[in-house]
């Protein structure tokens, strides 16, 4: 099932031209209680008009407007926004696109600008209502080209310390532009500028709230799922699938049938713990399917992470199809839908943003809910959370009265430990070693009172051995890595800075308790350049 966009008379639509920061724009705008949605920058005009936006933001991107394959908005875009009174804000590449398409000139800058830089406001503008003429602020620049001649009717609002155009506007035509990135934290006053633009210039009322999302999604589910249809839900025990299941259960009641699959890639005692939580706290009827041999058999000898994800996605669907066949004998009708807790970041990293047209962003990795699904699957998908970020899902879970213990759980990847064992997951006792190491790490974090301060923490089994000395004997054992990050939505993340004593204690516990491990390392890489998971 394709989840329709929540209705909003104040939709801010972002056209993605490939910037690594594009989806931060979406997130920042939602923080202002304004609904925003990101689609491909080369989506058709019909896709854009069907969404009926009040504001359109053109994102940054790695291209030059002079490149032969430079992305651009569709034919008729300018006429559409002007005839419908739609405000347009161009950011970085988006500003240059506005300048070029409306008759100005963009050229290679004499001095390229990257990183932090001061800008100065030159004239009164709704963009900088909090600061007057002559005020300065630090912003994050990332561009080689620059606007050297503005289209007729446009004026320069701010310039950089090097003298290049930093902000432009044409209030009469409702076009605005920022040469820098207001969406990143490196532009400290960027949120103020976005707020000024959306609330003061565009007159948007900040009225979008999670209760509206709940109401809209329940309506959508009831509209798509017929009164006599039954639905299967893939429950993992994580936040996403739990909230998705609770939402769908509220919409259709006992016609929802939850399935928890033990695929052999779960954490320490995960099956027992999760099943107990479902029965005790959520009171959801859940069937546990033991598919350990099936999954591990298919994964034997596989080392490529993308292949792992696709195999796991395919096997999950096979399990659900088999469950549906058994269920048909009980209820007299085969379920037609499968519920998954796919989130917006999963969709973003796995495939082009929603909307038609090719994407100018790279696929980071295939989420097994998205890129790993077989094209010929029989069950239709219901993904009620696919337009939400993780923190929004937690907020929705609170409204649905999902127990706090579920909502605070750290994210766990759909492919499970398969993407935390680098290499063949069936080789030796890698999975069992990883489970023990991960359990020690997580329990130590909880004992130290740090669990709620960390977005995600886990261990990784590395495909290498190192020489060590244990019990006065030489060992040639495995190496494990510890990873812990802080984040708001999973799109960007910083590594968590543990105290040295904590790391020392954890390392000793692991090496003393887990047979086969003699070395522990810590991953201190942010996202970007790395992803949170290793595979």
- 240 is annotated as contributing to ligand binding: yes
Total domains present in the chain:
3
Q: What is the pLDDT of residue 111?
A: 65
Mean pLDDT score of the chain: 88
- 85 is annotated as contributing to ligand binding: no
**Mean pLDDT value across residues 520-532:** 92
Residue 423 included in any domain: no
Residue from 23, 38, 92, 258 carrying the catalytic annotation: 92
Q: Please, which pLDDT band fits residue 112 given cuts at 50, 70 and 90?
A: low
Distance CA 509, CA 29 (A): 44
- Is 367 in the active site? no
Residue 535 included in any domain: no
For residue 92, the domain's CATH number is 3.40.50.880
- 290 is annotated as contributing to ligand binding: no
Residue 452 included in any domain: yes
Task: Tell me, yes or no, whether 456 and 357 share the same domain.
Answer: no
Angle at 88 between CA 180 and CA 61, to 5 degrees: 40
427 by DSSP, 3-state: which?
coil
Task: Tell me, yes or no, whether 275 and 149 share the same domain.
Answer: no
**Residue 106 β-bridge partners:** 147
pTM of this prediction exceeds 0.75: no
- Is 183 in the active site? yes
Residue 6 included in any domain: no
- Is 258 in the active site? no
Looking at the predicted structure, is the pLDDT value of residue 276 above 90?
no
Model confidence pLDDT, tens digit, residues 366-408: 444 444 455 666 788 899 998 888 889 999 999 998 888 778 8
Task: Tell me, yes or no, whether 343 and 437 share the same domain.
Answer: no
Task: Tell me, yes or no, whether 254 and 194 share the same domain.
Answer: no
- 61 is annotated as contributing to ligand binding: no
Task: Tell me, yes or no, whether 146 and 123 share the same domain.
Answer: yes
How large is the C-alpha radius of gyration of the chain? 25
Chain position carrying tokens 């009225």: 207
* Token output for 477: 């054992």
- 350 is annotated as contributing to ligand binding: no
Cα 249 from chain centroid?
25
- 355 is annotated as contributing to ligand binding: no
| Closest of 517, 446, 450, 530 to residue 481, by C-alpha | 517
Residue from 183, 315, 349, 395 carrying the catalytic annotation: 183
Domain enclosing residue 114, as ranges: 12-201
Q: Please, which pLDDT band fits residue 334 given cuts at 50, 70 and 90?
A: confident
- 201 is annotated as contributing to ligand binding: no
Looking at the predicted structure, is the pLDDT value of residue 363 above 50?
no
Which of 201, 222, 257 terminates a domain? The answer is 201
Looking at the predicted structure, is the pLDDT value of residue 4 above 50?
no
Task: Tell me, yes or no, whether 317 and 242 share the same domain.
Answer: yes
Task: Tell me, yes or no, whether 273 and 350 share the same domain.
Answer: yes
Largest CA distance in the chain: 81
Residue from 23, 63, 143, 181 carrying the catalytic annotation: 181
Residue 413 included in any domain: no
The beta strand positions in 12-61, using DSSP E, are 12-16, 36-40, 55-58
Q: Please, which pLDDT band fits residue 84 given cuts at 50, 70 and 90?
A: very high
């Amino acid at each position: 099932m394709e989840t329709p966009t929540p209705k909003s008379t104040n939709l801010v639509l972002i056209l993605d031209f490939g910037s690594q920061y594009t989806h931060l724009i979406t997130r920042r705008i939602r923080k202002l209680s304004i609904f925003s949605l990101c689609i491909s920058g080369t989506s058709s005009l019909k896709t854009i008009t069907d969404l009926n936006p009040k504001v359109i933001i053109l994102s940054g991107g790695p291209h030059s407007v002079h490149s032969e394959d430079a992305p651009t908005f569709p034919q008729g875009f300018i006429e559409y926004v002007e005839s419908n009174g739609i405000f347009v804000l161009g950011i970085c590449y988006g500003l240059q696109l506005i300048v070029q398409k409306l008759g100005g000139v963009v050229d290679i800058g004499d001095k390229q600008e990257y990183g932090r830089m001061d800008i100065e406001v030159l004239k009164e503008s709704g963009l900088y209502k909090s600061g007057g003429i002559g005020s300065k602020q630090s912003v994050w620049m990332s561009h080689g080209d620059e606007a050297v001649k503005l289209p007729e009717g446009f004026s320069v609002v701010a310039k950089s310390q090097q003298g290049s155009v930093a902000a432009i506007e044409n209030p009469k035509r409702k076009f605005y532009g920022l040469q820098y990135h207001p969406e990143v934290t490196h532009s400290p006053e960027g949120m103020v500028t976005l707020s000024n633009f959306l609330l003061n210039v565009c007159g948007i009322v900040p009225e979008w709230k999670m209760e509206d999302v709940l109401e809209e999604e329940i309506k959508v589910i009831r509209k798509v799922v017929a009164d006599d249809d039954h639905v299967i839900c893939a429950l993992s025990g994580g936040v996403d699938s739990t909230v998705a299941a609770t939402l769908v259960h509220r919409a259709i009641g006992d016609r929802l049938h939850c399935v928890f699959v033990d695929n052999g890639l779960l954490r320490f005692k995960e099956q027992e713990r999760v099943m107990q939580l479902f029965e005790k706290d959520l009171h959801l009827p859940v069937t546990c399917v033991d598919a350990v041999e099936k999954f591990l058999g298919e994964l034997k000898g596989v080392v490529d992470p993308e292949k792992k994800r696709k195999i796991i996605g395919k096997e999950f669907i096979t399990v659900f199809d088999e469950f549906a066949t058994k269920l048909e004998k009980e209820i007299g009708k085969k379920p037609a839908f499968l519920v998954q807790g796919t989130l917006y970041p999963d969709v973003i990293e796995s495939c082009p943003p929603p909307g038609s047209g090719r994407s100018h962003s790279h696929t980071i990795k295939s989420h097994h809910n998205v890129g790993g699904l077989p094209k010929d699957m029989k069950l239709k998908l219901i993904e009620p959370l696919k337009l939400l970020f993780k923190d929004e899902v937690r907020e929705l879970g609170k409204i649905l009265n999902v127990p706090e213990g579920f909502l605070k759980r750290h994210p766990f990847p759909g492919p499970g430990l398969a993407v935390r064992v680098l290499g063949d997951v069936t080789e030796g006792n890698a999975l069992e070693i990883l489970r023990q190491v991960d359990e020690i790490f997580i329990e130590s974090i909880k004992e130290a009172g740090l669990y709620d301060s960390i977005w995600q923490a886990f261990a990784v089994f590395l495909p290498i051995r190192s020489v060590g000395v244990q019990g006065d004997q030489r060992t040639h054992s495995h190496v494990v890595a510890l990873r812990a990050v802080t984040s708001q939505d999973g799109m960007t993340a910083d590594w968590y800075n543990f105290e040295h004593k904590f790391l020392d204690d954890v390392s000793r516990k692991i090496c003393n308790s887990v047979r086969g491990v003699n070395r522990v390392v810590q991953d201190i890489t942010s996202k970007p350049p790395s992803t949170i998971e290793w595979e």
